Structures are given as C-alpha cells and as structure tokens.
Amino acid sequence: MIILGINAFHGDSSAVILRDGQLIAAVEEERFRRLKHWAGFPVESIRYCLQAASVTIADVDHVAINQDTGANLSKKISYTLAHRPDFRLVMDRIRNKRKRRGTLELLEAEFPGQTIKAKLHSVEHHVAHLSSAFHCSPFDKASVVSVDGFGDFASAAWGRGQGSEIEVEGRVYFPHSLGVFYQALTQFLGFPNYGDEYKVMGLASYGQPVYLEKMREIVQLQMGGTFTLNLGYFIHHKEKIDYTWEGGHPSVGTMYSDKLCELLGTVRRPDEPIEQKHMDMAHSIQAMYQEAFFHLLDSLYQRHHLDTVAIAGGCGMNSVANGRIRTFTRFKKTYVQAAAGDAGGALGAAYSVWHELGNTTRVPMTHALHGPEYSDDDHQEVLKEHDEQLDPGSFSVTRAENDEELCDVVTRAITAGGVIGWFQGRMEWGPRALGNRSILCDPGRLDMKDILNSKIKRRESFRPFAPSVLREYVSEWFEEDDDVPFMMKVFFIRKEQREKIPSVCHVDGTGRLQTIHKETNPLYWQLINTFRLRTGIPMLLNTSFNENEPIVCTPKEAMACFLRTNMDLLVLGHWVVKRL
C-alpha cells in the first residue's frame, strides 16, 4: 500500500510517502524551491518522494492532506453567526479550502498522461499533528498534544494514544491560540518574518519575567487545562490578517491591536537596537507560554496517569519548554518528531490514514535522514564543474581513502579553529541540521561563535549555537539524561562543564542538544568520537549548512555556499575541499 501525505497551501509545504506503513521519504518543498518556509503545492517534494519509492503517481493508493473543510463545522457556523467577522476574512478561508479540495486535479495537471487511482483523504489539521507525534513515537501508550496557531478552526487538541489508536479528548477553538499569542508578541518585539518565534526564545535567556503579570492579562488559564486570549489585544478574530505567499514565501500581517501597545508600550521596529526591556519582554513571553503549556500538560497527567507524552504542532518546536517538561510536570519521557510544525502534518496525515484503514504496524522515527542523497559520482561532477574556481593556489581538493582518514582530517581542521561544511548521505527531514547537512565547529573555543558569525552566519548575537553530543556522554555534560535526536529540547549544561564548551553554552547555561547514536548515523558518530579522543569533548557545534537560505539540499548548493562564504573546509562524502 502506497500512501502519499501532503501539506499544501501553507508555510512549510511538504510531502512524505509510506509503503506498507514504512516511511520511505519525507521532505519540505523549501529545499527545492530555495525559499524559506515555501508555501503552495509541493510538487517537487512529491516528485522526489515518488522517485525515492520507485513508484509513479499512478501507483499511489491513497493521498492524505492535513486539512478537512468539514471539521469543527458547527463551531465555525456558530462563531460566524455570533461575531460576524470581516467578510474578507470569511472569503479568504473559503478560497484556501477550495484550493485544498482540488488536490487530485492538481496532481493530474502536474503528472499528465498518468491515471490517478488514489483516494483522497482529508485529515483534520490537529488529528494529523497528533498522529505525527504519537504514531512516530516509541511509546505504546502516551498523552498526546498538538498546539499551534490555527488549523481547521482549532489551535490545540489533545488526547490519549494507545497501540495504533488515538482518542481525541478536547480542543481549543478559534479565536484562542497560544501560537497566535507567541506570534503576535514576536511581531511586537520587532521580528516580523514568518517563523521568527525562535528568535524570541533565544532572546528570552537574557531577560527577567518583568512583564509576566501583564502577560497574564493577555493569556488566561481556565479550568481543565485550557486557556483563552483576552481578545482586546488582538485583531485576528475580527479582521482579515494579510497572509500571502508571494513567489512561495509566506508573510503574515500584524496580529495585535493598539490596546497591546497601551499595555506594553512602544512597538520595537526591526531596525531599532534591542534593549533590556525587550529582553525582559521576551523572557516574559516565554514564561507565559510555558505556564499555559504546562497547565495543559498537568491536566492530561491527572486524567491519564501516564508518564509519557508526545507533542506536535508549531509550538512543539519550542525546545526551551520541551526541555523543562520533566522538571515542571510529572511526565518523565517526551517525544517530539523532527518536523513538529506544519511540514509534519504531511507525515501525520499519511499515518492517520494508514491506521484508519485498519493497519496496526508502527515504526518509530529514530532519525530524520529521509531526504535526497547523492553519489560519489555526483560529488565528482560538482568538483569538475567548479574546476576553474577551485584554483590550486587557493584551494586543495583531496579524497579520503576511508572513514577513519576522513574523520581524522576533519577533526584536525576543527581543532585548528576551522569552519567545516559537512555534506553526507540523506538530507534531514525537519527544520534543523542533524548531522548530514551541517556546519561544524569546535565547541570548546571561546571565540568560535564570533568566527562563525563573521565567516558565514551573520546572525544576531543573542542567538545561540547548538551542540551535537554522543548519546553515551549526555549525563556527564547535561543535567538531564535523555534522548534528543532532533534538537527539540534545551537542557542545562552542568556547571562544572560550561567553561569547557563556551561556544554552545547559552548565556543562561543551557544548550539545545542533539544526541547522536552510532546505530542511526555511524559516520557522524565516528567524527564526534574522533574529536572526543583528541580533545576530551564528546560533542561538536552543529548549525545548519546554509547562509540566509534553506538548508542546502544538493552538492551544487553546498559548493555554492562554500565558495560565497569564508568556510574553511567543504566535505562532500569523502571529498575534501580546503581553502588555503
């Protein structure tokens, strides 16, 4: 049975393909289109998935899309009748729904001459998120939570998963949303771009909860673990918010009202300096989100008495909150799959249909390496194409004979303070570089963060870099001992270890770690272990292989990034290009 899962006409468009319940491929459209958070119909992702599965669109049995126009219909009607929102808002939503209903027609247009026999399944947005969380987890039983902006008129859903089934027990409906709260306040702080919430998380570590009481005026906790927004501070419920994807790039208009300015003061413009008040506000936003999120989790624990929880939705990307679940709730084990946000809806839609059809097979997602891969011939072709640019007076091009030699060469470059572009195997699924499309550096150098920003990243000074750490050594370096394969949790680094790894230790003593298993990525594990044997540090600084663009997908894109930046070393498989 072949199932194609799709997230379309929204930020982070994506596609996945299952064969008999086994994930064969998963990828975001942005990697092909080269525009971050690309929105629209993910035809290139679909083409890749079909190729990876060695099938055609005519072989697909089921197509699952993570949106259901009929979901929560009574809530939509009653809200519209009671509140009479801006007519443009209603029409905009109707147009989006019509686009999604035309999925099979779009597939027929993109794959002319092929007969499409697949049945189309519309899966409610949050049901897809819940499926992506639980059905990919290692848990047989767990509480399951989805929290984001909005999807199918809801902003959150929760329930209990057991075996292959998920019982949805409750939802928070439009217009109340923790995702909208965080996004609107992110805009208020002068970060207007789609997906900028992670900047607020990084900035929060520099502040104090000075504005927490004011945040509690904005978000109000309710009985049973739910929450509401004080709608006077927002406009999304009564006016059309501009949501566009010009050329595939999503953009969201202002979501807060003038009343929020009366409560919090002057809005920060993107070109204005960041002051302590902004840091304190960021800290207070994060604290309020955690307060509401943990309030929901506490109610689920009281209801289910399970110590496992699986999380998805855009807010599932809040790695700071995820890392504190064990400290502030009674849950002991947390699972968040690699693409917790809307891209992961394609995965959840596919798995939801697989299990709805009576199948019980589950295969936990233990790694994220589900994207395109390239051969040694592909690497050599790129090197030949750039032969003139790789002048022997400025570059050396060599090939390591084996993995051991490769790891030794790269480790020597890292310990010398080099910035390494590391391109291996299959590309990662999800927004974070997880060891195959990574820029790697020495976490033990005090100046490494500045070097990396000056040579490539040029990111804001308050944003931290993350460590990839061998799983065997997590408890020696962090205050928690847990699997974090997808960089979805932030833990406190042990006090006695912090000065040893300054370039990955955030100002508050934390690190957003990724745990590396020998079984799931043996070459990356071997590289870090080689570095450990030389330095005593079982981790590397790992950031995404890109420069203000989506993570590189192809060897050609990796080479282009290397040549236009001041990266010291490019590794394509076993080929090593060194800047002299």
CATH label of the domain that carries residue 381: 3.90.870.20
In a domain, 345, yes or no: no
Q: Do 325 and 248 share a domain, yes or no?
A: yes
Q: Is the pLDDT of residue 242 over 90?
A: no
In a domain, 355, yes or no: no
- The pLDDT-based confidence of 567 (bands split at 50, 70, 90) is very high
Closest CA to 346 of 1, 2, 19, 28: 28
Contact yes or no for 255/185 (Cβ under 8 A): no
What share of the chain in percent tops pLDDT 90?
89
In tens, the pLDDT along 84-118 reads 666 555 555 555 555 555 899 999 999 999 999 99
Q: Is the pLDDT of residue 252 over 80?
A: yes
Q: Do 415 and 491 share a domain, yes or no?
A: yes
- The pLDDT-based confidence of 316 (bands split at 50, 70, 90) is very high
Q: Do 251 and 388 share a domain, yes or no?
A: no
Q: Is the pLDDT of residue 353 over 90?
A: yes
Which has the higher per-residue pLDDT, 469 or 82? Answer: 469
In tens, the pLDDT along 505-534 reads 999 999 999 999 999 999 999 999 999 999
Cβ-in-10-Å burial (0-12, 13-18, 19+) of 2 comes to buried
Q: What angle do CA 181, 184, 186 make, to 5 degrees?
A: 105
In a domain, 519, yes or no: yes
Beta bridge partners of 327: none
pTM of the model: 0.94
In a domain, 356, yes or no: no
In tens, the pLDDT along 29-83 reads 999 999 999 999 999 999 999 999 999 999 999 999 999 877 776 776 676 666 6
**pLDDT score at 92:** 55
In a domain, 364, yes or no: no
In a domain, 369, yes or no: no
Q: Do 119 and 170 share a domain, yes or no?
A: no
Distance CA 215, CA 116 (A): 51
In a domain, 90, yes or no: yes
**pLDDT score at 457:** 82
Q: Do 433 and 315 share a domain, yes or no?
A: no
Distance CA 115, CA 118 (A): 9
Q: Which domain holds residue 264?
A: 129-340
Tokens of 102: 């035309």
**pLDDT score at 454:** 92
Last residue of a domain, one of 128, 144, 159: 128
**pLDDT score at 293:** 98
Phi, psi for 475 (deg, rounded to 5): -65, -20
Last residue of a domain, one of 128, 146, 161: 128
Q: Do 322 and 418 share a domain, yes or no?
A: no
Q: Is the pLDDT of residue 14 over 70?
A: yes
**pLDDT score at 91:** 52
> How far apart, in Å, are the Cα atoms of 335 and each of 239, 317, 322, 330, 332?
36, 12, 9, 15, 10
| CATH number for 174 | 3.30.420.40
Q: Do 109 and 207 share a domain, yes or no?
A: no
Cβ neighbours, 10 Å, residue 425: 17
User: In the Cβ-directed half-sphere of 371, how many Cα atoms lie within 13 Å?
Assistant: 29
In a domain, 86, yes or no: yes
Q: Is the pLDDT of residue 374 over 80?
A: yes
- For the segment 112-133, the average pLDDT, to the nearest whole number, is 96
**pLDDT score at 156:** 97
- The pLDDT-based confidence of 287 (bands split at 50, 70, 90) is very high
Tokens of 471: 């799983």
Enter the DSSP assignment of 420. E
**pLDDT score at 84:** 65
Q: Do 395 and 507 share a domain, yes or no?
A: yes
Distance CA 425, CA 403 (A): 13
Is the C-alpha dihedral spanning 554, 463, 186, 268 positive or negative? negative
**pLDDT score at 89:** 54
Q: Do 16 and 102 share a domain, yes or no?
A: yes
In tens, the pLDDT along 388-416 reads 999 999 999 999 999 999 999 999 999 99
- The pLDDT-based confidence of 239 (bands split at 50, 70, 90) is confident
Last residue of a domain, one of 340, 356, 385: 340
Distance CA 433, CA 439 (A): 8
**pLDDT score at 88:** 58
Indicate the number of domains in the chain.
3
Residue the block writes with tokens 């995965």: 347
Which residues, 6 or more positions from 153, have their beta carbon under 8 angstroms from its beta carbon? 71, 72, 75, 76, 79, 173, 174
Q: Do 292 and 386 share a domain, yes or no?
A: no
Q: How far is CA 166 from the centre of its chain?
A: 23
Q: Do 121 and 147 share a domain, yes or no?
A: no
For the chain, the residue count is 580
Q: Do 143 and 119 share a domain, yes or no?
A: no
